[in-house]
Amino acid sequence: MNILVCVKQVPNTKVTKIDPQLDPKTNTLIRSDIPAIANPFDEFAMELAARVKDAHEGVQITVLSMGPAQADAVLKQCLSVGGDHAYLLSDPAFRGSDTLATSFILSSAVRYLEEKEGRFDLIFCGKQAIDGETAQVGPELAEYLGYAQATYVTEVTAQDGGVEVNRETADGYERIWVQYPAVLTITKTAYEPRLPSIKSKLASIRAVIPTFTAKELGLDPEKCGLKGSRTKVIRSCNPEKKAGCMKIKEETGAESAHKLFDLLHSEHII
C-alpha cells in the first residue's frame, strides 16, 4: 500500500505573537523572518499515516511539501517519524499561489510521482493550515486528481478496497467508508504525534531531499503562483486591537458577578 502525506511549513505562533508583515506589491505574506514549524494538523495526519503503516505489512509513506528551500525541515521531521521518501516542490514561480494554484501544483506532483512509483491509495492532508486557514487544498487536490475524499477525519482503518474513517460533524461524528484512491483531511485526533528515536532523527538529518521545480514537473508557469491564482488580495491590514479590558474587582466573587451582569444587561449584551 502506498500512502502520501502532504505537509506545510507554517509560522510558529506558539513562541511569538506575530503581526504578519505584508509585501506591499502583492499583498501576500512575507514569511522569511518568522520561525517555522510543521502545520499541527499535518503532524496529526502524519501520525495517522504512521499508524496505518504500523498496522499493516508493506506500507510505504511518501511525504510531499511545497515551499521555500528551508521547508525541507518539515520533510526531515516526517522522515524521522515514519516517512520513507520525501520530496519538496520549490520554485519562485510557485510564490503567491492561492488554493487553486497550490492544489494544481500538488496534483501535478502526485501524478508525476505516481507515474514513477505507482498509485497512492491514500493521500493524507491536514484539515487546514494554521496560517491561511482555508481548508481548501485537500478537497481541491482530490478534485484535480478525481479521487474520493473525506474531510475532518479523526480515525482511519485501512481495509481492502477502501478505508473506514470517523469524520467530525457539527455535533458529533459519522463513520464513513471511502473507496481508494482517496484524499483524507485530518483534524485533531486522539493520537499525539510520536517523537523520533535518536537513530531515526540522525538518519533524517542526513537525508537529502529531492526538489522539483515547475520545469521538472512539466508545469506551465502561467498556471502557478500569482498568475495561476483565481483570487486576488486587493487590501490587507493587521486588524485593530481592542481598547482594553474593564476589570471588575468587588469585595466578593458574587458581587463582581452582579456588577458584570448589570453592565452586560445595561449594554443590551444579555
Binders of another protein among residues 198 to 257 (CB under 8 A) are 229-239, 242, 245-249, 252-254, 256-257
Total interface residues for another protein by CB under 8 A: 83
- Single out the residue of 77, 80, 102, 149 in contact with another protein (rule: CB under 8 A): 149
Site string for another protein, 44-63 (x = CB under 8 A): --------------------
Q: What type of residue is 48? A: L
- Single out the residue of 95, 173, 203, 221 in contact with another protein (rule: CB under 8 A): 173
Closest approach, Cβ 135 to another protein, in A, equals 5
Contact between 173 and 166 (Cβ < 8 Å): yes
Q: Based on the shown chain and the rule CB under 8 A, indicate whether residue 41 belongs to the binding site for another protein.
A: yes
Q: Based on the shown chain and the rule CB under 8 A, indicate whether residue 26 belongs to the binding site for another protein.
A: no
Closest approach, Cβ 179 to another protein, in A, equals 4
* CA–CA separation, 140 and 254 (whole Å): 52
* CA–CA separation, 225 and 131 (whole Å): 17
Write out the H or E segment, with its range, that includes residue 50. helix 40-55
Judged by CB, which is closer to another protein: 116, or 249? 249
Q: Where are the beta strands (DSSP E) in 95-223?
A: 122-126, 148-158, 162-169, 172-179, 182-186, 211-212
* CA pseudo-torsion sign 124, 125, 127, 130: positive
